[in-house]
A and B are shown apart, each in its own frame.
Chain A
Amino acid sequence: DAGVTQSPTHLIKTRGQQVTLRCSPKSGHDTVSWYQQALGQGPQFIFQYYEEEERQRGNFPDRFSGHQFPNYSSELNVNALLLGDSALYLCASSLIANYGYTFGSGTRLTVV
C-alpha cells in the first residue's frame, strides 16, 4: 500500500521564479494538506484541500496557491520565489480530518 508520494524530492530555483510541487495521497485518502518546514522548526500549515476546493488556509501570502484534482492528487504552486521560501514542503493526506495524517517525505526547495 503506497503511502504519500511527493515529487520532486529536491529542487533548486532562483529568486523570482515559480515552482510547482506535486503530491499523491495515500490510497483511500481524499484530503490533502500542505506544510512548510523551515530548518530547525516545526511544520507550518499552508492549506488543505478537500473535494477539489481549498477548505482551510494558514497565514501564507497569495503567492502560495494550490489545486486538487479529481483523483485527489494535489499541487502546490509558489510564485515570485523569495530566499525565505527555502524549506522542506510536506504533503499530508487523510480520510477523516483529525483521525491522523500520513505524511510524505517532502520536497526540499532551495531558493538561490
Chain B
Amino acid sequence: AQKVTQAQTEISVVEKEDVTLDCVYETRDTTYYLFWYKQPPSGELVFLIRRNSFDEQNEISGRYSWNFQKSTSSFNFTITASQVVDSAVYFCALSEGGRSNDYKLSFGAGTTVTVRA
C-alpha cells in the first residue's frame, strides 16, 4: 500500500506566484516523521523540512511554510514568491519510527515544479 501520496504530478507557475504542494500519508504508528526533499536536475536530494507527529505547529522558514494536519493525514508545503531556482522535483517522505523501528524513508512519487521567468 502506498504510504505517501502526492497527487500533483506537475505544477507550472510564473515567477513570484505561490506554489502549494500536497502530501497525504498513511501510517498506523503514533510516532512518525515527515519530510520534504527537493531534487534539482543534479540528482541530489536536498533536505527542506522535518516534522514529528507530536508537533502540529505550522511554521514559516524564509519562503517555505508547511501545514501539518494529523486529522486529515496531510503535510502540505508552500513556496512563497517562487523563483526560477525553485524549479525541481519535490518529494514528501514518511519515516515510521516508534515501536516499529522502521527507519526507512517512504517517498511519494514526487511533484515536478517549473517556475517560468
Contacts and interface: CB of A to CB of B under 8 A. Distances in A.
B114 to A, nearest CB: 15
Interface in A38-63: 41-45, 48, 55-56, 58
Contact of A45 (B47, B91, B104): B104
Interface of A: 31, 33, 35, 41-45, 48, 55-56, 58, 88, 90, 92, 97-106, 108
A41 B105 CA distance: 14
A43 B107 contact: yes
A38 to B, nearest CB: 11
Nearest to A42: B107
A17 B32 CA distance: 39
Closest 10 CB pairs of A and B: A42-B107, A103-B45, A45-B104, A105-B44, A97-B103, A98-B33, A98-B97, A106-B43, A98-B95, A43-B107
Contact of B104 (A58, A90, A103, A104): A58
28 contacts: A31-B103, A33-B105, A35-B105, A41-B110, A42-B110, A43-B107, A44-B107, A48-B103, A48-B104, A56-B101, A56-B102, A56-B104, A92-B45, A97-B95, A97-B97, A98-B33, A98-B95, A98-B103, A99-B50, A100-B50, A101-B47, A103-B44, A103-B46, A103-B47, A104-B44, A105-B43, A106-B43, A106-B44
